[in-house]
Homo-oligomer: A and B are copies of this chain.
Amino acid sequence: MALEYLPDTDLSSKPLLCARGLYCERDDRVLFKDLNFDLSSGQIVRLAGPNGAGKSSLMRILLGLSASYEGALYWHEQDMARALYDFRSDLLYIGHDVGVKSNLTPEENLAWSCPNVTKQDIYGALKRVGLSGFEDLLTHGLSAGQQRRVALARLFLSSKELENKSLWILDEPFTAIDKHGVADLEQVIVNHAQQGGLVILTTHHDLSVPVKTIMLGQTQKASL
């Protein structure tokens, strides 16, 4: 439940995403309670905590994919339920399961998940994640890291000019990615924040950039 704040990088701007009094309980175990935060554009926010702390659960709550919580969420200072269309238009989410179809090629996968970009953009993004030459192979024939890279290529497509997604929610994006790839990814994330995006991520890696951390606590028994 401890909440550590780095000073906001841009205090003048209005917050993008606010949480008030979030409470979540699973199997009689309180994951977090009375969680409040204001996240604004330009920030990189890391949800931290040990395995089972509730990082993914919190993300799913923010996304509106989970209903087992109490508290309020605001997007652009609007109640989340009413801002849903705007929120989702601005959202790029990559979860534990990345939503890459093993029976499609990397190119086809991206063509679906980013319908507004050109084929050339897709080839460019695939090149950026080190998959040039693999565009036309079925994804299930790729290595574990390469499969995740297909999903991560979306990050290279969501820049301002292309898909214009300002909020990135990334659940352990570095899983299975090699050293070089992790450095690349960090760079993209930093770029995105610098261009006014908001990035919320979890990872057990050490990040080489300063981030705001929301610490989720150790497990506790529910005691009502």
Residues in A lying within 8 Å of B, measured CB to CB = 26-27, 49-57, 96, 130, 133-134, 137, 141-146, 149, 172, 175-182, 204-205, 219
Contact = CB atoms under 8 A, between A and B. Distances in A.
A51 B145 contact: yes
- Tell me what chain A mostly uses at the interface: helix, strand, loop, or mixed: loop
Contacts of A175: 175-176
Contact of A27 (B137, B178, B180): B137
B51 A149 contact: yes
Nearest to A48: B178
A219 B146 CA distance: 13
Pairs of residues from A and B, 8 with the lowest C-beta to C-beta distance, nearest first: A51-B145, A52-B143, A50-B178, A96-B144, A51-B178, A52-B146, A178-B204, A51-B146
B182 A56 contact: no
Contacts of A146: 51-52
A63 to B, nearest CB: 16
Contacts of A130: 50-52
Contacts of A50: 130, 145, 178-181
Nearest to A149: B51
Contacts of A96: 144, 176
A149 B47 CA distance: 20
A176 B180 contact: no
Given A27-B137, A172-B176, A175-B176, A52 B142 contact: yes
Contact of A56 (B27, B51, B144): B144
A132 to B, nearest CB: 11
Contacts of A49: 178
Given A51-B177, A55-B143, A56-B144, 12 more contacts: A27-B137, A27-B141, A50-B130, A52-B130, A52-B142, A54-B143, A56-B143, A96-B144, A172-B176, A176-B204, A179-B204, A182-B204
